[in-house]
């Protein structure tokens, strides 16, 4: 499959609507002391002083590095669709709630970055601001321009808009003139496919080779149209409906995208897969100020998925999830898993591997898409950590 033009390792970014600044904090040093027994020996006070100074410096550098890795390596990304369109309740957020969320970011001294910059920093290892948030919008509905943009302009926050190009100019969607104006204003625009189809699905009689060519062609067509109409665009992709599979991830990587956003909830962090970036949904019942505050406070739960390798539900339903979580980071005795539409799942710990867990819902999963959401508090109980595993059932339609 042919790659798209441009450099695959970086995303072209539009400047934010106004300069963003956020606090960069690091914690400093703690005390160091010598045992009293050492005073029985004839040791030079100068040597003791030098030893204390070295120990203090070492401890300060260690704590600073630990704090940076714990707090400056993540971004809480949010996904929106419609603004002030109450007749579409599942994907809508009320304008007064969205305005309150933006005030929360401003008053909380959050650094709001476009997704392209978040991806670039995660790839390069450059630190993220200590309190980092990212606002993304899928589908380019007209209410983004009429409802969201005036509020974003007021606060000077950047935003990343994902466009499914076949819909541009059709009823309810922005047209190319409006998208060009937004791009000139500083809105980062990404690829949301041309068709907005269920890309993980093979058509009837379609083998994997034909599927790959069709899906790759869909993404290339969208990217070329974005570049032609806008004079350039980002190298970012967002999966329609948030659905992905190992095959689709391979297509997206091979085409040269710099990163891809999904729709399972969670926190993006250094070391995570840049092609399954989690985003907290802000639509329907989730579109509240209280929920927004809770999600801003969430930390990245460092989960390694041992099995399965694909979120596509196979013969085993409910699916079994095997994960490994580093011991010592969180209070694993309080690890919980919540299943969409069910409540808590069953979690069992591997006695031979303290950080390995087996997770399974108690009932068959409902709907085309579902999630296992793992949460656990920090050891001191002051923070909560979050990870979601997406599940997709092929062959069903759910809009």
Residue that wins the pLDDT comparison between 227 and 26: 227
Mean pLDDT of the chain: 87
* Of 328 and 69, the one with more pLDDT: 328
Q: How far apart are CA 220 and CA 214, in angstroms?
A: 10
User: What pLDDT does residue 59 have?
Assistant: 37
> Do the domain assignments include residue 21?
no
pLDDT of residue 5: 46
Residues 82 and 180 in one domain: yes
For residue 20, pLDDT beyond 70: no
Average pLDDT over residues 309-321: 93
CATH number of the domain to which 328 belongs: 2.60.40
What's the pLDDT score for residue 98? 99
Q: Are residues 138 and 224 in the same domain?
A: yes
| pLDDT tens per residue, range 99-147 | 999 999 999 999 999 999 999 999 999 999 999 999 999 999 999 999 9
Contact predicate 262/252, CB 8 Å: no
Query: Is residue 225 in a domain?
Result: yes
| Statement to judge: residues 122 and 268 lie in one domain | yes
pLDDT of 157-182, one tens digit each? 999 999 999 999 999 999 999 999 99
Number of Cβ within 10 Å of residue 339's Cβ equals: 22
- Give the pLDDT confidence score for residue 107 in this predicted structure: 98
Q: What is the pLDDT of residue 7?
A: 36
Q: Is the pLDDT of residue 52 over 70?
A: no
What's the pLDDT tens digit per position in 226-277?
999 999 899 999 999 999 999 999 999 999 999 999 999 999 999 999 999 9
With 90 as the cut, is the pLDDT of residue 21 above it? no
Angle at Cα 241 formed by Cα 176 and Cα 11, nearest 5°?
A: 55
User: What does the pLDDT read at residue 354?
Assistant: 86
Does the structure show a pLDDT above 70 at 72? no
For residue 25, the model assigns a pLDDT of: 37
Is there a domain that residue 230 lies in? yes
Q: Which residues contact 153 (CB under 8 A, 6 or more apart)?
A: 17
Between residues 234 and 40, the one the model is more confident about: 234
Any idea which residue has 């994907």 for tokens? 91
CATH of residue 164's domain is 3.20.20.370
CB-based burial label for 38 (10 Å; 0-12, 13-18, 19+) = exposed
**pLDDT for 46:** 42
Task: Indicate whether 5 belongs to any domain.
Answer: no
**Assigned domain for 27 exists:** no
Residues of the domain holding 138 = 73-298
Where does the pLDDT of residue 67 fall: very low under 50, low under 70, confident under 90, or very high at 90 and above?
Answer: very low
pLDDT of res. 329? 81
Closest CA to 240 of 197, 187, 188, 295: 197
Dig out the tokens for 303 from the structure: 């989960």
362 has a pLDDT exceeding 80:
yes
- 333 plus 201 within the same structural domain: no
User: Which of the four pLDDT bands, split at 50, 70 and 90, describes residue 50?
Assistant: low
The whole-number pLDDT of residue 316 equals: 84
Q: Are residues 225 and 350 in the same domain?
A: no
**106 and 220 inside one domain:** yes
Res 199: pLDDT = 98
Kindly tell me if the per-residue pLDDT of 391 is higher than 80.
Answer: yes
Residue 361 confidence class, pLDDT cut points 50, 70, 90: very high
Share of the chain above pLDDT 70, in %: 81
User: Do 219 and 356 reside in the same domain of the chain?
Assistant: no
- Tokens representing 76 are 């809480």
**Is the same domain home to 349 and 259?**
no
As given in the structure block, the two tokens for residue 86 are: 């109450």
Q: Three-state secondary structure along the chain?
A: CCCCCCCCCCCCCCCCCCCCCCCCCCCCCCCCCCCHHHHHCCCCHHHHHHHHHHHHHHHHHHHHHHHHHHHCCEEEEEEECEECCCCCCCCEECHHHHHHHHHHHHHCCCEECCHHHHHHHHHHCCCCCCCEEEEEEECCEHHHHHHHHHHHHHHCCCCEEEECHHHCCCCCECCHHHHHHHHHHCCEEEECCCCCCCCCCCCCCCCHHHHHHHHHHHHHHHHHHHHHHHCCCCCEEECHHHCCCHHHHHHHHHCCCCEEECCCCECEECCCCCCCECCEECCHHHCCHHHHHHHHHCEECCCEEEECCCCECCCCCCCEEEEECCECCECHHHCEEEECCCEECEEEECCCCCCEEEEECCCCCCCCEEEEEEEEEECCCCCEEEEEEEEECCCCCCC
Domain-embedded: residue 81: yes
Do 221 and 289 fall within a single domain? yes
How high is the pLDDT of residue 398? 66
- Count: domains in the chain: 2
Last residue of a domain, one of 298, 329, 362: 298
**What pLDDT was estimated at residue 278?**
99
If asked whether residues 115 and 260 sit together in one domain, one would say yes
Identify whether residues 128 and 235 lie together within a single domain. yes
Last residue of a domain, one of 263, 298, 333: 298
Residue 30 lies inside a defined structural domain of this protein = no
pLDDT digits (tens, 9 = 90+) for 290-312: 999 999 999 999 999 999 999 99
| The last residue of a domain, from among 267, 298, 329 | 298
In the chain, what percentage of residues exceed pLDDT 90?
77
Is 303 within the bounds of a domain? Answer: no
Looking at the structure, do residues 114 and 165 belong to the same domain, yes or no? yes
């Amino acid at each position: 499959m042919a790659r798209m033009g441009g450099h695959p390792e970086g995303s072209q970014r539009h400047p934010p609507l106004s300069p963003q600044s956020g606090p960069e904090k690091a914690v400093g040093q703690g005390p160091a002391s010598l045992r009293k027994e050492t005073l029985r020996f004839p040791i030079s006070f100068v040597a003791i002083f030098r030893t204390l100074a070295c120990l203090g410096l070492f401890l300060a550098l260690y704590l600073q590095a630990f704090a940076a890795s714990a707090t400056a390596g993540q971004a809480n990304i949010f996904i929106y669709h419609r603004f002030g369109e109450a007749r579409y309740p599942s994907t809508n957020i009320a304008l007064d709630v969205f305005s309150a969320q933006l005030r929360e970011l401003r008053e909380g001294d959050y650094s709001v970055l476009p997704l392209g910059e978040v991806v670039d920093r995660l790839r390069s290892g450059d630190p993220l601001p200590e309190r980092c948030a990212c606002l993304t919008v899928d589908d380019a509905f007209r209410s983004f321009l009429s409802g969201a943009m005036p509020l974003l302009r007021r606060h000077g926050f950047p935003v990343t808009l994902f466009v499914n190009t076949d819909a541009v100019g059709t009823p309810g969607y922005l047209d190319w003139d409006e998208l060009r104006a937004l791009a000139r204003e500083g809105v980062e625009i990404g690829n949301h496919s041309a068709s907005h189809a269920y890309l993980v699905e093979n058509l009837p009689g379609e083998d994997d080779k034909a599927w790959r060519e069709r899906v790759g062609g869909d993404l290339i067509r969208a990217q070329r149209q974005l570049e032609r109409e806008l004079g350039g665009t980002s190298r970012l992709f967002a999966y329609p409906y948030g659905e992905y599979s190992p095959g689709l991830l391979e297509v997206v990587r091979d085409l040269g995208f710099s990163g891809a956003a999904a729709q399972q909830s969670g926190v993006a962090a250094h070391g995570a897969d840049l092609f399954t970036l989690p985003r907290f949904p802000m639509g329907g019942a989730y579109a509240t100020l209280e929920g927004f505050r809770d999600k801003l406070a969430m930390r990245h739960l460092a989960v390694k998925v041992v099995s399965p390798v694909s979120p596509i539900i196979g013969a085993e339903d409910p699916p079994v999830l095997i994960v490994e979580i580093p011991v010592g980071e969180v209070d694993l005795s309080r690890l919980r898993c919540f299943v969409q539409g069910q409540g808590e799942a069953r979690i069992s710990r591997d006695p031979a591997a303290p950080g390995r867990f087996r997770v399974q819902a108690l009932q068959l999963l409902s709907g085309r898409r579902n999630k296992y959401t793992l949460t656990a508090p920090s050891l001191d109980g002051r923070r909560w950590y979050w990870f979601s595993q997406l599940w997709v059932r092929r062959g069903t339609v759910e809009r």
